[in-house]
Structure 1
Amino acid sequence: MKHKNIMVVGTSSGAGKSITVTGLCRAFFKDGYTVSPFKSQNMALNSYITKDGHEMGRAQALQAMACEIEAHYTMNPILLKPTGDRRIQVIVNGKSIGNMGGLEYGDYKSKLKKDIIQAYNTIKDENQICVIEGAGSPVELNIKQDDIVNMGLAEMVDAPVILVADIDRGGVFASIYGTISLMEPEERARVKGVIINKFRGNVDILKPGLEKIEELTGVPILGVMPYFELDIEDEDGVTEKFNKIKSKTADITVSVIKLKHISNFTDIDALLANKDVNVNYVTSFHELGNEDLIIIPGSKNTIDDLKDIKEKGIAQEIIKMSRKGTPIIGICGGFQILGEKVLDPYGIEGDIKELPGLGLLDIETTMEKEKVTTQYTGLLKGETGLLKGLGDIQVKGYEIHQGVTEGKEKSITLDNRLVATVKDNIFGTYLHGIFDNREFTDFILNNIREKKGLEKKNSTMTFDEYRLQELDKLEKIFRENVDMKAIYKILEEN
């Protein structure tokens, strides 16, 4: 098959571009094609480290899993990570090239077209189909010049376009009509279909509106996706997981500190696969006090987030709960926050050069100029504290951190670096994906169950297997509600 491509853009951020691309990727893969995702530029704090140590958007890594191929930075050649103070860290071809302000990056990004084309051509040479994802809205008039991620990219790689619109937020027909109307004539010609996302109710009610919007735009409706629950990673902070209603029936309650610059909150997803676990993202110290486990997640700006949780009284409450014996787990930036202090001599994260941590671990972290980006597999030695009785288990994950951590706490891996450490009820690690390790997570949760007089449970599948099961659910819902024959026709005609 000659290489084909198709692009998904949205009427807004959070309209459902990522989930649509993931569904298409899974369907094409299941139909026997070699397929890859592609997003030229992604702005997100959820990132992933490839086997060769390159950083890319977590959403594209998940889409690669839907295609059952190894994630590679060419699927997302430009990743922008907000660092605070209106600056972004710019990652090109998997490696950071430094921080820039918005205007500075706006002037710079046209230079990246060659990197985008080179990355896309690599995917083109290796796959029969490429499913391309846009970003935000394709008609952001203030930044349309030198567009490298929406209709400008569609032109660069000659891709037909599907527009996704979110009906749940209201005004879906206006958003479809307005988006298409604001496009240039040559851009409108590329739009071959519309998918309406997150519909609640009987689709027959929509039919008069669907017919009218097709008449007004000349673009067919390819499907109406229902609102459904699916347990796969979200791309960024536009997620409903932060707003989930607390369950009164869950046996185990986990409080995750929702940091201002929270990153890689997908680390928590493996906990959500346990039906008796309730995860609450907390922003106030008033919300702490009755949980079975507190998690301080990753951060794109550790010092600023540490300062923020101190000012809000959250830090003091975490210390108070730790003294009562509540297990505290810190991941990456959260691990750094658990220490005695965080130092930033080069101003990597801002103007604050040093800030005391929570003092729960005898460690210090110094922000260095070079960033650690690596996958990790090693032996974790569970002999003391929170991990006593775990024994030696193999764990895998990936590291993304600017800080170098040292101190009196001993590493509980065979690595000489402080990849992970434990002290009484405090566990800190640099490993993103730590809860993806089934044996580790079962042990932590079973310890909590045992203390509460509950029956122990063991997972029946790995988190990777669970993720594939959820992706298959997505594929089934996608095929039931979207006209795949029409999508294949769009591919063939391009």
Structure 2
Amino acid sequence: MAKSIMLMGTSSHVGKSILTTALCRIFRQEGRRVVPFKAQNMALNSYVTLDGREMGRAQVAQAEAAGLAPMVDMNPVLLKPTGNAQSQVVIMGEPVGNMSAREYHKGYSLKAWDAVEDALTRLQDEYELLVVEGAGSPAEINLKANDIVNMRVAKYLQAPVLLIADIDRGGALASLVGTLELLDEEERALVKGLVINKFRGDVTLLTPALKFLEEKTGKPVLGVVPHIEQLGIDEEDSVSLEEKSCGLGNTAADRIRIAVIRTPKLSNFTDFDALADEPDVALYYVSTPAELGSPDLILLPGSKNTTEDLLHIRATGLETAIRRCVSAGTPLFGICGGYQMLGRKVCDPLHTESAHDEIEGFGYLPIETTFAAHKRLRQVTAECADFPFLGEKIPGKNLSGYEIHMGETIFTEDVHRPFRIVAAGGRPADVRDGALSADGLVCGTYIHGIFDDDALRRAIINRLRARRGLAALSVQYRYREGKERAYDRLAETVRESLDMAKLMSIVGMEANA
């Protein structure tokens, strides 16, 4: 039977996902067969597995850190907020419908527990160690009875728990003491250690506080993890966008300015992480016309509610600002929901996403999209079939990505199709994807992750550089290698910050010599 360690937090966004990722990497480095697990994730950032099923993005990063291919057993329940206190419920990678928070928590969540148990059984049979992530706080009294992601999992596995607090927010000591106080005796007994996360400054100044915590709670403090700047690891959800740049600052004069339109239901913003890591790019998120400025490229990201986000762009004046930029020659690129917005109409007759039957799009591309009950989920390999961008054809081979959308798009007239899908779901294919406006300024695709390709990304940036009178550069940043370095850097930092001997003892393992 596999051993397990579980990470819970005093609240959301205290760093559970990142520390779970760190432990996955550390135990992999120790030669252990380690696997991540989170029973239930609420996120708009999702991923499609090789077998065409959907899971939370955080567990994808954790799987990569553990050296594994992502699979839905790592995240059997996924909730994707759609608006109006509703979420699309995804069980074992397949959507089962939209539910209100009340419907889910009061009626359905315990039914979803069966999928959690089945996934845990399979993982326990195959792996040596499960690194399990909780959600929010285990002390939410109003949710505990039907909770399937925190103490119910810990009790089921009899997993030792590390309780994490974010000291950068303030109130870390009170939140740790208060959380333990609200747990019942059996739950408190499972908590085997405390961790202070995101600390800035001289850690020796915390010594009296750490001593107090141990005396007050009877639980050892395993360590203090510093705030890690520019981590370079996929974030779980749009809450982390608060930490991303929403302005250009004073350092962007000699960099290519790329603006991402930020909407309330923005999804899969990890599509742009590779661009953000390029040294000659200033990528920033904008919510208002004033923030847009004069970018070199505008990106329209995916959305869990395309119609509502399109209306939001229109209501805030961003549509007018975007049109002004495009009229002045600024290229505009949309992915998935953003691609749908670029067309003439977005229709939702079944009210799959919203109460609107039909919304007028930007009208840049001769396409119309209608939402259906079936969601397309598949990994794809693509190439640039014929992608002229700012006067030069963009090369691209073996572009890895995935599709995840419920819209069916038709073409109302002939249009340039820039991409060709050559494999889908592991099988050969020959399907054109995307559309390009006649003037070459507006482009859209259904392929998530297309900017992860180093050569294609650099070719696009170099065309933008040429427009600014800047010389072309060779590949500056290799995305996959960068992620591996980030996982190793994270693991090293956490190793140095935690009492690893004590942690190994809690897990029931010995550290390798």
TM-score range, shorter chain: over 0.9
Which amino acid counterpart does residue 15 of structure 1 have in structure 2?
V
The answer to whether the aligner puts 1:355 opposite 2:359 as a matched pair is: yes
CA distance in 2, matches of 1:392, 1:245: 31
Q: Contact 1:194 / 1:221 at 8 angstroms: preserved in 2? A: yes
274, 294, 300: which one aligns with 2:278: 274
CA distance in 2, matches of 1:71, 1:387: 39
CA offset at residue 247 of structure 1? 3.6
Deviations 1:239-275 (A, max 9, x none): 1444555342231111110011000011110011112
Q: Contact 1:296 / 1:329 at 8 angstroms: preserved in 2? A: yes
327, 332, 335: which one aligns with 2:336: 332
The answer to whether the aligner puts 1:111 opposite 2:100 as a matched pair is: no
Q: Contact 1:37 / 1:131 at 8 angstroms: preserved in 2? A: yes
Deviations 1:412-449 (A, max 9, x none): 33346553222211110111111101111101111111
CA offset at residue 386 of structure 1? 4.3
Structure 1 vs Structure 2 CA RMSD = 1.5
**Aligned-partner SS, 2:393:** coil
Q: Contact 2:247 / 2:285 at 8 angstroms: preserved in 1? A: no
The answer to whether the aligner puts 1:284 opposite 2:298 as a matched pair is: no
Q: How does 1:167-178 map to 2 (within 5 A)?
A: 167-178=167-178
Q: Which residue of 2 aligns with 1:413?
A: 419
CA distance in 2, matches of 1:475, 1:493: 18
**Aligned-partner SS, 2:114:** helix
**Aligned-partner SS, 1:398:** strand
Q: For the structure 1 residues 295 and 392, does the alpha-carbon distance in structure 2 shift closer, same or farther, using more than 3 Å as the test?
A: closer
CA distance in 1, matches of 2:164, 2:136: 11
CA offset at residue 289 of structure 1? 3.4
CA offset at residue 154 of structure 1? 0.4
Q: For the structure 1 residues 244 and 485, does the alpha-carbon distance in structure 2 shift closer, same or farther, using more than 3 Å as the test?
A: farther
CA distance in 1, matches of 2:477, 2:261: 28
CA distance in 2, matches of 1:218, 1:483: 17
Which amino acid counterpart does residue 500 of structure 2 have in structure 1?
M
Q: Which residue of 1 aligns with 2:2?
A: 3
TM, length-normalised to structure 1: 0.97
CA distance in 1, matches of 2:200, 2:283: 25
CA distance in 1, matches of 2:148, 2:387: 51
Q: Which residue of 2 aligns with 1:434?
A: 450
CA distance in 1, matches of 2:311, 2:248: 27
Q: Contact 2:389 / 2:460 at 8 angstroms: preserved in 1? A: no
Q: Contact 1:147 / 1:153 at 8 angstroms: preserved in 2? A: no
Q: For the structure 1 residues 245 and 391, does the alpha-carbon distance in structure 2 shift closer, same or farther, using more than 3 Å as the test?
A: closer
CA offset at residue 455 of structure 1? 2.5
**Aligned-partner SS, 1:104:** helix
CA offset at residue 461 of structure 1? 5.3
Q: Which residue of 2 aligns with 1:470?
A: 486
Which amino acid counterpart does residue 414 of structure 1 have in structure 2?
R
Deviations 1:146-190 (A, max 9, x none): 321001110012111001100000011000100011100000000
CA distance in 1, matches of 2:470, 2:442: 22
**Aligned-partner SS, 2:471:** coil
Question: Sequence identity, in percent?
Answer: 44
**Aligned-partner SS, 1:37:** strand
Q: Contact 1:18 / 1:59 at 8 angstroms: preserved in 2? A: yes
CA offset at residue 454 of structure 1? 1.7
Q: Which residue of 2 aligns with 1:162?
A: 162
The answer to whether the aligner puts 1:249 opposite 2:251 as a matched pair is: yes
Q: Contact 2:373 / 2:406 at 8 angstroms: preserved in 1? A: yes
Structure 1 residue ranges without an equivalent (≥5): none
**Aligned-partner SS, 1:24:** helix
Q: Which residue of 2 aligns with 1:235?
A: 236
CA distance in 2, matches of 1:462, 1:324: 32
Q: Contact 1:385 / 1:422 at 8 angstroms: preserved in 2? A: no
473, 481, 489: which one aligns with 2:497: 481
The answer to whether the aligner puts 1:400 opposite 2:416 as a matched pair is: no
CA offset at residue 404 of structure 1? 0.9
Which amino acid counterpart does residue 52 of structure 1 have in structure 2?
D
CA distance in 2, matches of 1:84, 1:126: 38
Q: For the structure 1 residues 460 and 322, does the alpha-carbon distance in structure 2 shift closer, same or farther, using more than 3 Å as the test?
A: closer
CA offset at residue 361 of structure 1? 1.0
Q: How does 1:99-138 map to 2 (within 5 A)?
A: 99-106=98-105, 107-138=107-138
CA distance in 1, matches of 2:391, 2:451: 14
Q: For the structure 1 residues 42 and 215, does the alpha-carbon distance in structure 2 shift closer, same or farther, using more than 3 Å as the test?
A: same
Q: Which residue of 1 aligns with 2:425?
A: none
Aligned residues, how many?
493
Which amino acid counterpart does residue 94 of structure 2 have in structure 1?
K
CA offset at residue 314 of structure 1? 0.5
Q: Which residue of 2 aligns with 1:313?
A: 317
CA offset at residue 382 of structure 1? 3.4
CA distance in 2, matches of 1:387, 1:355: 33
Which amino acid counterpart does residue 398 of structure 1 have in structure 2?
Y
Q: Contact 1:39 / 1:75 at 8 angstroms: preserved in 2? A: yes
Q: Contact 1:382 / 1:388 at 8 angstroms: preserved in 2? A: no
CA distance in 2, matches of 1:435, 1:247: 24
Which amino acid counterpart does residue 397 of structure 1 have in structure 2?
G
Q: Contact 2:310 / 2:341 at 8 angstroms: preserved in 1? A: yes
* More displaced stretch, 220-229 vs 379-388: 379-388
CA distance in 1, matches of 2:16, 2:131: 11
CA distance in 2, matches of 1:466, 1:367: 37
Q: Contact 1:16 / 1:197 at 8 angstroms: preserved in 2? A: yes
Which amino acid counterpart does residue 59 of structure 1 have in structure 2?
A
Q: Contact 2:434 / 2:443 at 8 angstroms: preserved in 1? A: yes
TM, length-normalised to structure 2: 0.93
Q: Contact 2:245 / 2:283 at 8 angstroms: preserved in 1? A: no
Which amino acid counterpart does residue 134 of structure 1 have in structure 2?
G
The answer to whether the aligner puts 1:196 opposite 2:192 as a matched pair is: no
Which amino acid counterpart does residue 480 of structure 1 have in structure 2?
E
Structure 2 residue ranges without an equivalent (≥5): 422-429
CA distance in 2, matches of 1:461, 1:125: 39
CA offset at residue 458 of structure 1? 2.5
Q: For the structure 1 residues 460 and 242, does the alpha-carbon distance in structure 2 shift closer, same or farther, using more than 3 Å as the test?
A: closer
CA offset at residue 319 of structure 1? 1.5
* More displaced stretch, 106-115 vs 378-387: 378-387
CA offset at residue 483 of structure 1? 1.3
The answer to whether the aligner puts 1:450 opposite 2:466 as a matched pair is: yes
Q: Which residue of 1 aligns with 2:37?
A: 38
Which amino acid counterpart does residue 239 of structure 2 have in structure 1?
V
CA offset at residue 305 of structure 1? 0.4
Q: Contact 1:386 / 1:427 at 8 angstroms: preserved in 2? A: no
CA distance in 2, matches of 1:163, 1:209: 16
